[in-house]
Structure 1
Amino acid sequence: MSQLQYKTTPLSDAEAIENEIADLERRLAEAKEKQRQAQQQRGIAHDAVIPVSSPSQTILHSPANHFLLLLSDSALPLGSFAFSSGLESYLAHNKSSPSSSSPIPKPPKSKPPPPSFTSFLPLSLSSYASTTLPYVLSAYRDPSQLSWLDDTLDSTIVCTVGRRASVAQGRALLSIWERSLAASLPSGSASADKAAKILKPFSALLRQSSSSSSSSSSSATTAGGASNGWNDPPPVSAHLPPLFGAICALTGLSLEQTAYIYLFSHVKALVSAAVRAGMFGPYQAQKTLASRQVQDMIAAVVEREWNTSVDEAGQSVPVMDLWVGRHEVLYSRIFNS
């Protein structure tokens, strides 16, 4: 009896182990099947919640972003490359004076720091923002006030050189709008209708003032200045700040984008002038434009002037008017301002 039990016990243990292995394999197969079904359900739910969008549905193809890239392009032919905004005059008026050969000793004087772009940029940006950014923001918020804002800005500019630069770039921007940008707006849209009501009459006033001033000056020359109203101020001058704000509003840019692009374009013009003036090279120019310091400066002046009305706009750096105004008395110059 003991021998029979000794022979059958190992056989029963082997069968039990095989049965346990089969049960584990069955449970593993069931678990894998459940996992596969769960993955399929998650894939179906993911496809239903987040569909794959076509390129035409992305934000990059919006008209506002397209105009954003156009208006922020350095190749926009505004003629800003011809103006240094006082940088050339700043360099000329801050040169170190030659040492005197007088035998009489003079007490030592503390030398001012040499002119540098890092010193000029914050002053120029602050001045540009305080004098012109309120007009950009006001024209964006109410483009119908374009003519009034243009006339108000023209009456507040005391520097002839700065006024000439603003008018030249503003008229260039208006010409670009008429020849290129206006045709890109969808016909019959609200932006196109508003542009027809605002910019077309403004452009007509500008052409009328230009033709009347030329005819009045010729008649004044022939008649000895006896014509009536030949020296009256023109109805519009087409300054850059209000025109830029109105055009950005019509093309769908946000107010924050408008303010940032306007000031960043000024920084790019200054950097370009510094490169041509030999202050630094093109790689340093790109480093300056990409620096966090420039981003923080632009953000700070935008926040400072965000709620400034045109009645409160004014020069925050008075010496900038002196540098810009004295540009015409330089012995040699490569810029128009």
Structure 2
Amino acid sequence: MRSTCPDTLYIGRYYCPELCLGFVASAGLESATQAGHVTNAESLLLFLSSSIENYAYSSLPFVTDTWWAVEAESSDDENLNCKENDFMSVIDKIMEKIINLDDLYNAYTSNYVTKRASKTQGVAMLTLFTKSFADNNSKTKMKDLVIEKFKLRVRKEISYGHLPICFGLVTKCLGISLERTQHLYLFLFARSILSAAVRLNIIGPYYSQRLLTECQAYVEKSLEKTCKLNSKEAVQTSPLLDILQGRHDKLYSRLFNS
């Protein structure tokens, strides 16, 4: 059973850059570079620290609430032997909470570019789970079935499938603890920015690994402030970052989608 596997097994798999779409999303770094806000390693560090803090305050609370939405209604084993009506009732309750969080995040996110990137990455998370981690007997596994139903809604364009919601849902279904889920979410975000910085030729690959180690302090500091926030407390801490992300489609030439 998945719950008996170490968290680090799944975390190690998620560390692969392509799983977080680090090669197509720059979180506004490309726009910031062309606008002259990021020109060297020093300004990159400032951009990185501001982005991590903004992401922790604006996005992480939705990951947390989604994780708890699944936790509050189910457990790994308790609901496997319940009556079919009760089984579907629990699934419906989970789905309702997830859908509401997805709608709230879409309304909360102010610019189209960020919404588009979030939906693309969210779909990638759901696809990753169903193709790589879902059990063969998913029809009898509550959490697998929840993901299948939500993925179907996203495919039909009934739901948005934003990354924070999909990330919280998938990590909970994999049995990853909330603390590691939160840390992983911010760490992968930081790494995607550094990956983009290398591709934009702001820094080299070796120096990016050094910065990745240093940015752990930014991640930990942001987690201390935001790990207990819920979605109703989510805020934007850097309006400039939001503006830079929103103007990405207006760039004359661009390497990334966001």
Same fold, judged at TM 0.5 (above): yes
Number of matched pairs: 230
Q: CA RMSD in A?
A: 2.4
Partner of 2:223: 302
Whether 1:204 and 2:125 are equivalent positions in the alignment is no
Could you tell me how far apart the structure 2 residues matched to 1:207 and 1:275 are? 33
Could you tell me how far apart the structure 2 residues matched to 1:123 and 1:95 are? 12
Partner of 2:142: 193
What amino acid maps onto 1:69 in structure 2? Answer: G
Partner of 1:118: 45
Report deviation, 1:306: 1.6
Partner of 2:255: 334
What amino acid maps onto 1:83 in structure 2? Answer: A
Alignment deviations for residues 274-320 of structure 1 (CA, whole Å, 9 cap, x no partner): 011111111101111122xx122111111211221211102111111
Report deviation, 1:334: 1.1
Q: How does 1:1-337 map to 2 (within 5 A)?
A: 62-76=5-19, 78-94=20-36, 116-143=43-70, 144=94, 145-183=97-135, 187=137, 192-196=141-145, 198-209=146-157, 235-291=158-214, 294-337=215-258
Identity percentage of aligned residues: 32
C-alpha distance 296-113 of structure 1, shift in aligned 2 (>3 A)? closer
Could you tell me how far apart the structure 2 residues matched to 1:138 and 1:204 are? 21
C-alpha distance 272-114 of structure 1, shift in aligned 2 (>3 A)? closer
Could you tell me how far apart the structure 1 residues matched to 2:49 and 2:246 are? 19
Could you tell me how far apart the structure 2 residues matched to 1:295 and 1:95 are? 23
C-alpha distance 283-199 of structure 1, shift in aligned 2 (>3 A)? same
What amino acid maps onto 1:199 in structure 2? Answer: I
Report deviation, 1:141: 1.1
Could you tell me how far apart the structure 2 residues matched to 1:67 and 1:137 are? 18
SS in 1 for 2:247: helix
Contact 1:86 1:327 in 2 (8 A): yes
Superposition TM-score, scaled by structure 1 size? 0.64
Could you tell me how far apart the structure 1 residues matched to 2:15 and 2:254 are? 28
Contact 1:94 1:115 in 2 (8 A): no
* Greater relative CO, 1 or 2 (CA 8 Å, sep 6+): 2
Alignment deviations for residues 87-126 of structure 1 (CA, whole Å, 9 cap, x no partner): 1111111269xxxxxxxxxxxxxxx999721111111111
Alignment deviations for residues 132-175 of structure 1 (CA, whole Å, 9 cap, x no partner): 10000111111222211111101111110000000000011111
Instruction: Tell me which structure has the larger Cα radius of gyration.
Output: 1
Unaligned segments of structure 2, at least 5 residues: 71-93
Unaligned segments of structure 1, at least 5 residues: 1-60, 97-111, 210-234
Could you tell me how far apart the structure 1 residues matched to 2:51 and 2:8 are? 28
